[in-house]
Amino acid sequence: MPQRFDLLVVGGGVIGLSVAWRAARGGLRAAVMDPAPASGASHAAAGMLAPVSEVTYTEEPLLRLGLASLARWPSFAAELAADAGREVRDLDYGDGGTLDVAFGADDMAALEELAAFATGLGLPARRLTGRECRRLEPMLAPSVRGGMLAERDAWVDPRRVTAALLAALERRGVTLLRTRAAALETSAGRVTGVRPAGGAAVGADRVVLATGAWSGGPAGSGGADGPAAIEGLPPGALPPVRPVKGQIMRLRSPEPILGRCVRGTVHGSHVYLVPRADGELVVGATQEELGFDTRVTAGGLWELLRDARELVPGVTELELSDTVAGLRPGTPDNLPVIGPAGPPGLWLATGHHRNGVLLAPLTADLCAGDGDPDLLKICSPLRFQEPC
Amino acid sequence: MPQRFDLLVVGGGVIGLSVAWRAARGGLRAAVMDPAPASGASHAAAGMLAPVSEVTYTEEPLLRLGLASLARWPSFAAELAADAGREVRDLDYGDGGTLDVAFGADDMAALEELAAFATGLGLPARRLTGRECRRLEPMLAPSVRGGMLAERDAWVDPRRVTAALLAALERRGVTLLRTRAAALETSAGRVTGVRPAGGAAVGADRVVLATGAWSGGPAGSGGADGPAAIEGLPPGALPPVRPVKGQIMRLRSPEPILGRCVRGTVHGSHVYLVPRADGELVVGATQEELGFDTRVTAGGLWELLRDARELVPGVTELELSDTVAGLRPGTPDNLPVIGPAGPPGLWLATGHHRNGVLLAPLTADLCAGDGDPDLLKICSPLRFQEPC
């Protein structure tokens, strides 16, 4: 007798797992299909929950999404921890803000404008002198001339979050199908389930595609080196998602050397440092458009080390504990793709680019039909589809 | 009935394994005691066999040792490969020379003097223009102004060498005791064997201490963080060996980007790149005096990446495949410590600092009583002992 679920999520990253968990909490029989859950972009992510410090002039819709999801994080973390049988502190959730620092005159001017823009929007952002920055973070380089503190920005350890999600799913009786999805099953124009590679179809009333960088249609598939997109969809139903490579480095310290996330622009490239309670320091992240390339390269590491040293010279004393590269699912407008797409029975929850961890609570709520319809509209897959 | 051997080597690095193998080839019943053979400095070593390019004014004795051992390498490699049931190419032995390059006027002047010194000694060294350097190695930075080619310098993959030594030892019936040596056993003032931690003594007519950075007496033990030296020796019998940390990085390339070893001085620090036949490129090496610290640090990696980029900008495209730190056994005069020491029945074969792989064939011969007595005299442990 074939398996059948209310909801089948394809893709077990932080987005897919959150969607399935929220559905299960809502009483649905849910399943997740992924040959290697929590091993992609979520595994590489640093876990900044920083909508304010990442705000830019052209991206107010993204800011709205980020603020809405950041507001959900405390309850998301509390419920997740409870469901997983853990404490909130096991997720390494911290809310000490993000300190954005500047070195040169150009950086200072840009920071000034950003702070004016943020405070104009009523966002909790505060301009600091170099001295004030170093009072907050004594390990900062003496050459830091000023900064902006986004006081409500937070962070979390994505690896602990996905581990907790997997534990919560198990306790909620959600089925984890460790296999690759090959094709959507359709019947009378409606999606009815998913056929795994070399297996029998799994039936579902609704299928959510949450396959991150591997969600793209031909326009965004990264070219000939890209893996085959899922089969069974009409042309144009897959969104223009492309892989955006990011390399990060984890350093080990006997105790935390920073009290909050620190970011800055060095030689024109952005770098950020995310502290963990156990002293680990995550340094990220490069942005490279290289198709489905997940090699950690000498050049990527060199950039991270060069820039991190510039911000916090003391990092040179820390031990290297991990290097990893992940593929963010980028979209043309940097906004995620969430909502019904193509044939009935199919939803998308992908394209979160740099913001998958931040936007997981909001995405899960939107997929559960619980959230501001305006926000869902911002994320609609239809914005990329050709008019009929 | 207790075990008894003609020769018991304490320490299973490239030196200890070579000594035991040579002894077994000479017909002795040999054994090696090491809880984790081939895991220390030999595992971290890059494998340059470069006595000429490393020549300096004050170190002519070391140069003599290096040249004598380099001359032994081809037959050592051939015999080792045969004994291990492998081909010589499995050791990744290459003899394309070392190219030492210079960037600034100071480097050029130093290189000029070095070349004059080397050719004055009749060594095979040739001055090259920047253009000639790039003709030899097209991946070199355009800013390279000149170089010196040490034409007979060679290289080898130390990991493949120790793996072959272990295979050869097994085929020769040499016993590998995977346990830690706790104390020397003595009887009537003579060393009679070794007592392992928590085990029964193993008897031997001769014991060779080849414990690398862990060979030091109190004067060289690296201080309070150092492991306990082997017990059972009279004060002063252990040589003043200290740990000198080196960090290296291995990069992966689809095919070799260099045809020979390349070294240079960048911002006052030395860096070298050793090619492997399979495209791997080993980048080394820092020199740090930090006691028994084997952490790979952000600062160490940063130096390696910065300097390697300067020599060969294309390394940035390569994938990072490994990082490792090892402890070289340094001595006050940079010369190894080989020969009888302290009570009868005990030999030392340690203190090889940066030259363990290069000097392994010579060291094995000297320990087997086969080699120039003048060279053995250069290495004598007695040079560090107080006159009675």
- Identify the sign of the CA torsion B366, B369, B371, B376: positive
Q: Enumerate the residues of chain B whose CB falls inside 8 A of the CB of residue A248.
A: none
Question: How many Å apart are CA A311 and CA A234, to the nearest integer?
Answer: 49
Residue B121 scores a pLDDT above 50: yes
Residue from B253, B309, B310, B319 to probe the interface with A (highest A Cβ count within 10 Å): B319
Is residue A267 within 8 angstroms of chain B, CB to CB? no
Question: How many Å apart are CA A296 and CA B317, to the nearest integer?
Answer: 10
Residue A223 scores a pLDDT above 50: no
Given a contact cutoff of 8 angstroms between Cβ atoms, the answer to whether A158 and A43 are in contact is yes
Is residue B308 within 8 angstroms of chain A, CB to CB? yes
Up-side HSE of residue A308: CA atoms within 13 Å toward CB? 33
Is residue B281 within 8 angstroms of chain A, CB to CB? no
pLDDT tens digits, B269-322: 889 999 999 999 999 978 899 899 999 999 999 999 999 999 999 999 999 999
Is residue A315 within 8 angstroms of chain B, CB to CB? yes
Comparing CB atoms, the residue among A295, A302, A317 nearest residue B297 is: A317
Residue from A288, A295, A312 to probe the interface with B (highest B Cβ count within 10 Å): A295
B344 alpha-carbon distance from chain centroid: 27
Beta partners for B208?
B9, B347
Q: Enumerate the residues of chain B whose CB falls inside 8 A of the CB of residue A313.
A: none
Gap from B252 CA to chain A (nearest CA, Å): 9
Length of chain B: 388
Is residue A254 within 8 angstroms of chain B, CB to CB? no
Q: Which two tokens stand for residue B381?
A: 């442990």
Q: Which two tokens stand for residue B256?
A: 């070799």
Is residue B254 within 8 angstroms of chain A, CB to CB? no
Pairing of strands A319-330, A337-340: unpaired
Beta partners for A247?
A325
Q: Which two tokens stand for residue B90?
A: 């499995």
pLDDT for res B319: 97
Mean pLDDT on A111-118: 89
Per-residue exposure over B14-38, b if at least 16 CB sit within 10 Å of its own CB, e if not: bbbbbbbbbbbbeebbbbbbbeebb
Q: What is the mean pLDDT of chain A?
A: 92
Is residue B319 within 8 angstroms of chain A, CB to CB? yes
Q: Which two tokens stand for residue A279?
A: 């002293």
Q: Do residue A320 and residue B323 have CB atoms under 8 angstroms apart?
A: yes
Is residue A320 within 8 angstroms of chain B, CB to CB? yes
Is residue A316 within 8 angstroms of chain B, CB to CB? yes
pLDDT tens digits, A263-284: 998 877 889 999 999 999 999 9
Supply the Cα-derived Rg of chain A in whole angstroms. 21
Q: Do residue A297 and residue B309 have CB atoms under 8 angstroms apart?
A: no
Is residue A3 within 8 angstroms of chain B, CB to CB? no
pLDDT for res A42: 96
Query: CB neighbours of B71 closer than 8 A, spacing ≥ 6?
Result: none
Q: Do residue A302 and residue B316 have CB atoms under 8 angstroms apart?
A: yes
pLDDT tens digits, A139-178: 999 999 999 999 999 999 999 999 999 999 999 999 999 9
Task: Please report which confidence band the pLDDT of residue A227 belongs to, taking 50, 70 and 90 as the band edges.
Answer: low
pLDDT tens digits, B361-376: 999 999 999 989 999 9
Task: Please report which confidence band the pLDDT of residue A375 belongs to, taking 50, 70 and 90 as the band edges.
Answer: very high
pLDDT tens digits, B377-388: 999 999 987 655
Comparing CB atoms, the residue among A297, A309, A320 nearest residue B296 is: A320
pLDDT for res A221: 43
pLDDT for res A52: 86
pLDDT tens digits, B5-56: 999 999 999 999 999 999 999 999 999 999 999 999 999 999 999 998 877 7
Question: How many Å apart are CA B251 and CA B320, to the nearest integer?
Answer: 5
- Give one DSSP letter per residue of B245-258, joined into a string: EEEEEEEE-SS-S-
Alpha helices in B88-226 (DSSP H): 105-120, 130-136, 158-171
Interface size, chain A vs chain B, as Cβ–Cβ contacts under 8 Å: 64
pLDDT for res B226: 52
Question: How many Å apart are CA A293 and CA A288, to the nearest integer?
Answer: 9
Question: How many Å apart are CA A248 and CA B377, to the nearest integer?
Answer: 52
